[in-house]
Structure 1
């Protein structure tokens, strides 16, 4: 048993690299993902309810345990160009060579015959990561001694454990609360949050970790006639500082701290069930503008990066489930996410390029028995138009304030994503 628990923990904190909505997972588990992440007002499984609206766990009366594991693949491309002395441009493109990343989700709902309901979750809810090799043709990936960043690699993952309590005020109304404990890991090559020396920016000597705390509150309404609605607020998840041990290109060492919190999220959702159809629609507001690590922008006086400078994000999730085939529910989902990165600040987000504008999902389940069900989903996502902006240099900030944009330069990135996820649920 101890070995199984250890394996699940290591699986959950593995680098995600799955950044559907900013650096936030668009959904959790096969069922919720196949519905585009919509669950605030239409909970179809315990994972979706525990992630987006703790009050909605009152829908499930039985003991249930659910485990999902996904395999995620992405193909980001990083391009840049700078003006050449001849009047032309030097430019190139670097493809990511990261490969596959795992996506875990574990949830448990305690059976209840009263108005009190309890649920527990262990989700990988956030992550970003890229691996762009060093290049001699792409200016942004040229060696630092040639003016580029060299190899660009990032690994960020956030593992969250929640304990939810919900109470049925009546047959139609429920309220819920869920304290959360978080564990995050961050590794950067190079580390732009550190002060550069004469050889350039250092790389972190292994990943740094930090713990964080927060909570989620929700309300849920079920008319009993098909219409459902919900609202939830997840507070900012407040972390301690990441403490980095850095190694510079000339072999010298140093340390620095950087704070990166998880933004607050406000969710509203509606659902409608009629016959063999279940419809779900969610809207979310992600408050990046008031989140440490994302709200700050620009260069510090010591030429380190102050933060990403992201704007708030709007997310729309929609899904439909068709249950007209015996024991074989079919699901379609769509997710739209606005881009939190402004063009003039695109340079700062090179280590976190996975911004997906449109995501499409197809999923299905199979009810092996009244107690045991398996599910699967296929996901395809696209960033739409490439995010692009000028290359920024702190040495140019005095002449080209406020960020030191190099005239005539450009950095851009776009990507597509693919994912297969499988899950199993047991009820008793």
Structure 2
């Protein structure tokens, strides 16, 4: 099963990108163009399968949908710090180096006309983040180093107290098996067991205990690089859908926390020597969704509210530095990071479809997301910095023939300013560092680190409706 899921990850989730925290705002060209709203407005099978399993009861026959998109993100990392020895203030920014990424999704729904049962299966990349900030070229180890020119200290090599090339890649593939039952002509319920595959790579890896400087008994190798680690997860989603058949609709769904096993990292320092192994568990948070829909004549309207419970999900619940519980360093930070420490967030998705142009329905969507990253913990979320506050979408459909439908989407998102805090240092204060268990448990020191980004996505989808017998 794990090998099959790895293959599916390669095929269907070559890349995903953060929108609402690290969660995709929608799935497929149609649902994305409606701002991700679908809990009470099942206009296409991908949106219904993702946000409300009960809503697939509105579809008859057999429907297959495939989407593929090209995503471009432009995250930027900023930092400022004053060197106490030289008195120079280093300040600069680094742009991401990842380039374009593909984004596929596939869904299938079937049911017999007149039957109360409808079934579906899907393979969606529902979560992800990734950055690639290269090493600052104007650094103290460079032969052409000029401290009077802009320099981003967070991307200095590790021997000069930076992280060097800071890169991350996280993706989560979810395979869902959905069943919906039409209790009455107006009311349906649904359930969806899910199987998940998650894979994470971070370099340098802050989840692994670093080799501290010589003054602290180490050899100064810093944080190691790690191979990509993966794990399986399981969960479910339940939902209800009510259609008044006078135009108004209401829906609600609950996706349980997706529980994963621990990811095990094999790590090596930059000189090739083996580092300590580390384990990290990162669950997908529980998601609560309610929605309203209205359809009449030439218009379809959709509005969703979602609450994403990061605060109670493993990997996002804890924060700060790991504290040693035994040995000579008991009670001191090991330098390994406990977790992201994110807040739970609110998400609003809205969309409108205009059907007044024959064979060319037009859609406009908007998504708002609050920021899960606390200012004082911004330093820990640099590998997952792609947080979008406002997203705007435009899309349309065109029927190629009786069986094929083409969907198209353009998305633009913005973080609407920086997420910003101070740099943090796990070096114990007994060694002259800024860390103090009582007054400064995170080891903050005079500095700043921040990030922002914009995103653009072009996506097309093909829906094939099988001929009814």
TM-score, normalising length from structure 2? Answer: 0.88
Partner residue, 1:303 = 335
Distance 2:407 2:445 in 1: 50
For the pair 1:346 / 2:385, whether they are aligned, the reply is: no
Q: Deviations over 1:11-47 (max 9, x none)?
A: 213232x101111000000100000000001011000
Q: Deviations over 1:169-221 (max 9, x none)?
A: 100100000000001111110100001013100011x3111100000000000
For the pair 1:278 / 2:300, whether they are aligned, the reply is: yes
Partner residue, 2:456 = 418
Distance 1:282 1:15 in 2: 25
Partner residue, 1:190 = 204
Match of 1:314 among 327, 337, 346: 346
Change (3 A) 1:13 1:97: same
Partner residue, 1:229 = 250
Q: Is the 8 A contact 2:72 2:100 kept in 1?
A: yes
Cα offset, 1:104, TM superposition: 1.3
Distance 2:393 2:235 in 1: 30
Partner residue, 2:57 = 58
Structure 1 or 2, whichever has the larger Rg, is 2
**Residues 328-347 of structure 1: pairs in structure 2 closer than 5 A:** 328-347=360-379
Partner residue, 1:125 = 126
Cα offset, 1:144, TM superposition: 0.4
Distance 1:9 1:308 in 2: 24
Partner residue, 1:12 = 12
Change (3 A) 1:6 1:19: closer
Cα offset, 1:398, TM superposition: 1.4
Cα offset, 1:245, TM superposition: 0.4
* Secondary structure in structure 2 of the residue aligned to 1:55: helix
Q: Is the 8 A contact 1:327 1:368 kept in 2?
A: no
Cα offset, 1:87, TM superposition: 5.3
**Residues 173-252 of structure 1: pairs in structure 2 closer than 5 A:** 173-197=187-211, 198-204=220-226, 206-252=227-273
Corresponding residue pairs, total: 421
* Secondary structure in structure 2 of the residue aligned to 1:48: helix
Q: Deviations over 1:244-275 (max 9, x none)?
A: 00011232213111111100000000000111
Distance 1:101 1:347 in 2: 26
Q: Is the 8 A contact 1:64 1:111 kept in 2?
A: no
For the pair 1:151 / 2:152, whether they are aligned, the reply is: no
* Secondary structure in structure 1 of the residue aligned to 2:356: coil
Distance 1:56 1:92 in 2: 49
Cα offset, 1:90, TM superposition: 1.1
Partner residue, 2:147 = none
TM-score, normalising length from structure 1? Answer: 0.96
**Segment of structure 1 superposing worse, 284-293 or 398-407:** 398-407
* Secondary structure in structure 2 of the residue aligned to 1:370: coil
Cα offset, 1:62, TM superposition: 1.9
Partner residue, 2:104 = 104
Partner residue, 1:261 = 283
Q: Which has the higher strand share?
A: 1
* Secondary structure in structure 2 of the residue aligned to 1:397: coil
Distance 2:260 2:6 in 1: 24
Partner residue, 2:142 = none
